[in-house]
Chains A and B, each alone.
Chain A
Amino acid sequence: MREILLVPSPGLDLRHHYGHHQSPAIRAGGLIFCSGMVAVNPETGEREHGTLTSEARRIFENLKLLLESAGSSLDRLVQVHAMIYDRIEYDVLNRLYRQYVPNAPPARTVMSVQIEAGFKVMLDVIAAA
């Protein structure tokens, strides 16, 4: 069973704003697979470039909206691939990250890569539905 999730807020669907050929999230086998999330305004879809902290905060807030609309939540995250633009920001990411997944955090891999459109962070996550 494969189902495309509807976004709770129009800005979260990058297809409409940026023409990305992707679904925001797919539900399959009791899991929710989200597309890589970057910092965009959930209402307008506008890119919100900022510090790694501000971008990561925006991503977690958007993720919260998306997962909760699908009956899941940040507590139900199973795996996170966190991509950051420079590994020097690793501890900065960790500080913000702890605020959003304080207990029983998901399995995680962090890598430093160049991210589309000059963003500083992107999160690619899988959650339990």
Chain B
Amino acid sequence: MALQRDVIAPKDPAVDMSPNLNLPLSPAIRAGEFIFVSGMVAIDATGERMHGTVAAETREILAAMAQVLESAGSSLAKAVKVNVLIYSMLEYNNMNEVYREFFPAGAHGLRRQAQRRQQGRDRMRGAGLKQ
């Protein structure tokens, strides 16, 4: 009866921040029909933090998020909710332009945006649907 809970291991280990940055988190957890993804910041192929423009960080994050979701048998197209944290609302459009590439019109999930002081410029958290 209890919901099954599984840790998602990304196929590409570089998108897993936990060992590279020594953080106590799982990249994603599947619980029942949903996948809960940890907050993601831009990291490069070696797992190092990749500071850049909002557009560059957003692109890096969403590409990695797509990989995490695909490793779990889901995809960005099945995203149900994305929280976007951005260091300044002046960059809202810069983030949106890249965001649209990954979530074409009509396909995007709900998104909530909050302005936050962040360690990275951009941090995204997604929840995807398994099937």
Most chain B Cβ neighbours within 10 Å, of A78, A98, A113:
A78
Q: Is the CB of A78 within 8 A of B117?
A: no
Given the interface contacts A87-B119, A113-B116, A129-B3, does A107 sit within 8 Å of B28 by beta carbon? yes
Question: Chain B, interface size: which category?
Answer: 20 to 34
Which B residue sits closest to A106, measured CB to CB?
B29
Tell me the complex Cα distance, A109–B83, Å: 10
Tell me the complex Cα distance, A113–B117, Å: 7
Tell me the complex Cα distance, A106–B2, Å: 17
Q: Is A23 an interface residue (CB 8 A)?
A: no
Digit string of B11-40 for contact with A (CB within 8 Å is 1, else 0)? 000000010000111111101101011110
Tell me the complex Cα distance, A126–B118, Å: 22
Residues of A within 8 A of B116 (CB): 111-113
Q: Is B107 an interface residue (CB 8 A)?
A: no
Tell me the complex Cα distance, A29–B25, Å: 24
Which A residue sits closest to B18, measured CB to CB?
A105
**A contact residues, total (Cβ < 8 Å):** 27
Q: Is the CB of B118 within 8 A of A112?
A: yes
Given the interface contacts A94-B23, A107-B37, A109-B123, does A71 sit within 8 Å of B2 by beta carbon? yes
Given the interface contacts A110-B39, A111-B118, does A105 sit within 8 Å of B3 by beta carbon? no
Residues of B within 8 A of A76 (CB): 2, 5
Min CB distance A33 to B, Å, is: 12
Q: Is A37 an interface residue (CB 8 A)?
A: no
> How many interface contacts (CB-CB < 8 Å) are there between A and B?
82
Q: Is the CB of B23 within 8 A of A107?
A: no
Q: Is B121 an interface residue (CB 8 A)?
A: no
Given the interface contacts A29-B32, A94-B23, A128-B31, does A78 sit within 8 Å of B5 by beta carbon? yes
Tell me the complex Cα distance, A65–B62, Å: 37
Residues of B within 8 A of A110 (CB): 39, 119
Digit string of A73-104 for contact with B (CB within 8 Å is 1, else 0)? 00010110100000100100010011001001
Most chain B Cβ neighbours within 10 Å, of A104, A111, A112, A129:
A111
Min CB distance B64 to A, Å, is: 14
Which of B18, B27, B32, B118 is in CB contact (< 8 Å) with A31? B32
Q: Is A30 an interface residue (CB 8 A)?
A: yes
Residues of A within 8 A of B24 (CB): 94, 97-98, 101, 105, 108
